[in-house]
Amino acid sequence: MGWQFNCHPNMHATPTSVSHGATTTARLYNMRRIAWIPWRWWRRAAQFAMLVLFLWLFRRTEYTGADQLAGGENIFFRLDPLSGAAAMLAARQFIALFWPALIVLALTIVLGRFFCGWICPLGTLLDYFHRMLRPIARRTNRLFNSRSSNSRRLTAAGPPGESLRSARYVLLIVVLLAAAFSFPLVGFVDPLALLTRGMTLWGDPTLYRGVDAGFEWLDGRWGTAAVEPFVEKHLIPFRATAFRLAGVSAAILAAIFALELVARRFWCRYLCPLGAMLGLLGRWSLVGRLPVGACKSCGDCAELCRMDALGDGLSAEDCTLCMDCVDLCPKGIAKFAVKRSKSQPRPVDLSRRGALAGLAVGAAIPGLAAAAQVFRPRQADPYLLRPPGAGDEKTFLDLCVRCGECMKVCPTGVLQPAVFESGLEGIFSPRLIPRFVFEQTYCEYTCTLCGQVCPSGAIPRLTEAAKHERPIGLAYFDHSRCLPWGEETPCIRCEEMCPAPEKAIKILNTFAIKDADGFELEIQQPYVERDLCVGCGICESNCPVEGPSAIRVRRVDSPDPGTEIMLKR
């Protein structure tokens, strides 16, 4: 028979050893399998491709020899409707950069929560992590995947809406409402921001040091010298950066992965506010699984559903279209098709009580944060420098989605996450710390990369000339510690470094002294011509004085109301 040639070649080897009936079953089974590439293989291929794309773009978010990046490095964030909505609500403006998120929204309305099953790199990594855990799970006889295990405890008890699933809706409400009150929280819970920041702040520095130490230990043995240039050029960051909050970022990611031990895709099921947002839209999706709900006689699909979306009915806001239930249905009846009935078999997992609680918390957060200033009065930090071109502090914090892309792309590593310097809402927002690594961290004069990768426009896209027109800050000397001023020791390292074409650091006094050996030394005492200063901080970074630099860059706007910078030199 003709179709047999499409089947496994071994079919021919043992045709007589199987009974007639069994051959028929096998034939049917194989036809189904071979004539159609199973749906979940497509899904896995898409997940893998998207993860590779995500990682590749992450690696490309770096200076690679061109002043303009290829573009699209930030595409995953611009596809993210949660970050987009929160930033727009907080800043009260439409942000055109987020137009790709509209595509996700439109497709979600048609297909449902496909983003989580097919695209989200965090979801894919969680799936891979789950696969790694499976052997351990077997050994310890713990079940991760089925409704009969832990997950039932978390979801099945009580009436709908009382389950832990409501947590993600509460988070969504809190985030959006707080954003509406101009209190940006989205960066704390957005899955893409959590993943990218973890990779930037902790992953990259760890990866670099690990690989570097590994190659040093290998010392070119076993042919490793041949792969070293490739690995260094394409797989690891250019240099050993260091970041604040690296441990915190890693711990948050680790917790998300650890929750996989409690239930499969725990984060996506119960916590992810982006998933909640897409799920709500997906409730009315045109495409859905049939039959709606698991069959009474079997229920295998309900057991294997990673999102625990199947029971007596189907929870459309949970289904990520992973297609496991279609491919693995023993009877072959499960399928995805255009929905015929409009009936919604399962109510939203959010009780009125939960919704009200979310609204209350969301509305209360800005007030609570203001109250928290009782413990830490908001004294503006004059050294809190924001990336080039950033608007006033409030607008900047409203627009910034804390994705970490600017810190990733910064060639010197001067962009560091803020901790508490600008209040609770400012955590993870980027700031410049010029002396974070001596001689290394400062804003590169000709570089405009951070504005090119910012997905929300918090850091605007600037030309080099436009960047210099709006200084990041202005440099001020501490005369008591500056070597030529305070110690009559030659230095002017700051003047040497200053990249302004006419030098913003100039010499006020020049005189000669004799050192202990009678050798004549010239002392040049510098000052800052602040009209020329761009605030790049290379002077602060390179000042050879121990401890804090004897020249420091301060904010341009005097941030404490009522105070004013009086110094002239």
Partner 1 sequence: MDRREFIEQVAAWSAGTCLAAPLFDVRAVLAAEERPNGKPLMVVAKGKDYEALVDKVLKPLGGMAAFVKKDDRVVVKPNIGFDRTPEQAATTHPDVVRAVVRRCLDAGAKRVLVFDRPVNDARRCYAHSGIKDAVESLGDSRVRCEYVDNKDFVPVEIADGKSLDKFDFHRDALPPECDCYINVPVAKHHNQAKLTLGLKNVMGVIGGNRGIIHRDLNRRIADLNLVVRPKLTIIDATRILLRHGPTGGKLDDVKVLDTLIASADTVAADAYATTLFGKKPDYLGSTVAAAKLGLGEMDLSKVKIVNM
Residues 238-267 that bind partner 1 (CB under 8 A): 238
Rounded Cα gap, residues 22 and 32, in angstroms: 15
DSSP 8-state assignment for residue 314: B
Provide the minimum distance between the beta carbon of 479 and partner 1 in the complex, in angstroms, as a whole number. Answer: 17
Rounded Cα gap, residues 277 and 282, in angstroms: 9
Identify which range of 84-92, 102-110, 163-171, 484-492 contacts partner 1 by CB under 8 A: 484-492
Residues 6+ apart with CB under 8 A from 9: none
Could you give the residue ranges of the DSSP H alpha helices within 373-509? 393-399, 405-409, 449-453, 464-469, 493-497
Rounded Cα gap, residues 164 and 157, in angstroms: 10
The residue (of 88 and 498) whose beta carbon lies closer to partner 1 is 498
The residue (of 44 and 239) whose beta carbon lies closer to partner 1 is 239
Q: Is 501 in the site for partner 1 (CB under 8 A)?
A: yes
Q: Is 564 in the site for partner 1 (CB under 8 A)?
A: no
Q: Is 299 in the site for partner 1 (CB under 8 A)?
A: no
- What phi and psi, each to the nearest 5 degrees, are found at residue 474? -130, 145
Q: Using CB under 8 A, pick the residue from 482, 498, 539, 550 that binds partner 1.
A: 498
Judged by CB under 8 A, how many residues of this single chain contact partner 1? 37
Residues 6+ apart with CB under 8 A from 170: 350, 354, 355, 357, 358, 361
Q: Is 500 in the site for partner 1 (CB under 8 A)?
A: yes
Residues 449-468 that bind partner 1 (CB under 8 A): none
The residue (of 327 and 495) whose beta carbon lies closer to partner 1 is 495
Q: Using CB under 8 A, pick the residue from 503, 529, 530, 556 that binds partner 1.
A: 503
Contacts of 487-494 with C-beta under 8 Å, sequence gap 24+, read: 488/513, 488/523, 489/523, 490/521, 490/522, 490/523, 490/524, 491/544, 492/524, 492/526, 493/539, 493/542, 493/543, 493/544, 494/526, 494/539, 494/542, 494/543, 494/551
Displacement of CA 511 from its chain's centroid (Å): 54
Residues 16-75 that bind partner 1 (CB under 8 A): 63-65
Rounded Cα gap, residues 39 and 35, in angstroms: 12
Rounded Cα gap, residues 501 and 67, in angstroms: 19
Q: Using CB under 8 A, pick the residue from 22, 28, 521, 567 that binds partner 1.
A: 521
The residue (of 421 and 444) whose beta carbon lies closer to partner 1 is 444
Rounded Cα gap, residues 7 and 5, in angstroms: 5
Closest C-alpha to 411, from 453, 354, 361, 463: 453
- What phi and psi, each to the nearest 5 degrees, are found at residue 526? -90, 160
Provide the minimum distance between the beta carbon of 449 and partner 1 in the complex, in angstroms, as a whole number. Answer: 10
Q: Is 495 in the site for partner 1 (CB under 8 A)?
A: yes
Binding mask 162-201 for partner 1 (x = CB under 8 A): ----------------------------------------
- Give the dihedral sign, CA 317/280/198/77: positive
Provide the minimum distance between the beta carbon of 546 and partner 1 in the complex, in angstroms, as a whole number. Answer: 10
Q: Using CB under 8 A, pick the residue from 499, 529, 558, 565 that binds partner 1.
A: 499
Residues 6+ apart with CB under 8 A from 546: none
Provide the minimum distance between the beta carbon of 438 and partner 1 in the complex, in angstroms, as a whole number. Answer: 7
Closest C-alpha to 85, from 165, 190, 188: 190
Under 8 Å between Cβ of 310 and 301: yes
Residues 387-416 that bind partner 1 (CB under 8 A): 411-412
Q: Is 519 in the site for partner 1 (CB under 8 A)?
A: yes
Provide the minimum distance between the beta carbon of 484 and partner 1 in the complex, in angstroms, as a whole number. Answer: 10
Provide the minimum distance between the beta carbon of 126 and partner 1 in the complex, in angstroms, as a whole number. Answer: 35
Binding mask 532-551 for partner 1 (x = CB under 8 A): ----------xxx-------
The residue (of 323 and 447) whose beta carbon lies closer to partner 1 is 447
Q: Using CB under 8 A, pick the residue from 48, 99, 420, 438 that binds partner 1.
A: 438
Provide the minimum distance between the beta carbon of 385 and partner 1 in the complex, in angstroms, as a whole number. Answer: 18
Q: Using CB under 8 A, pick the residue from 43, 467, 493, 555 that binds partner 1.
A: 493
Closest C-alpha to 149, from 349, 305, 334: 305
Exposed, middle or buried by CB within 10 Å (0-12, 13-18, 19+), for 290?
middle
Under 8 Å between Cβ of 364 and 170: no
Q: Using CB under 8 A, pick the residue from 480, 502, 512, 514 that binds partner 1.
A: 502
Q: Is 446 in the site for partner 1 (CB under 8 A)?
A: yes
Provide the minimum distance between the beta carbon of 510 and partner 1 in the complex, in angstroms, as a whole number. Answer: 10
Provide the minimum distance between the beta carbon of 143 and partner 1 in the complex, in angstroms, as a whole number. Answer: 39
Provide the minimum distance between the beta carbon of 90 and partner 1 in the complex, in angstroms, as a whole number. Answer: 33
Q: Measure Cα distances from 222 to 226, 240, 396, 546 in Å.
A: 9, 25, 51, 44
Q: What angle do CA 91, 93, 99 make, to 5 degrees?
A: 115
The residue (of 67 and 392) whose beta carbon lies closer to partner 1 is 67
The residue (of 195 and 410) whose beta carbon lies closer to partner 1 is 410
Q: Using CB under 8 A, pick the residue from 490, 529, 556, 558 that binds partner 1.
A: 490
Beta strands 505-514; 474-477: pairing state: unpaired
Q: Using CB under 8 A, pick the residue from 483, 534, 550, 553 that binds partner 1.
A: 483
Closest C-alpha to 27, from 6, 49, 53, 47: 6
Residue ranges binding partner 1 (CB under 8 A):
63-65, 216, 238, 411-412, 438-439, 444-447, 483, 489-493, 495-503, 507, 515, 519, 521-522, 524, 542-544
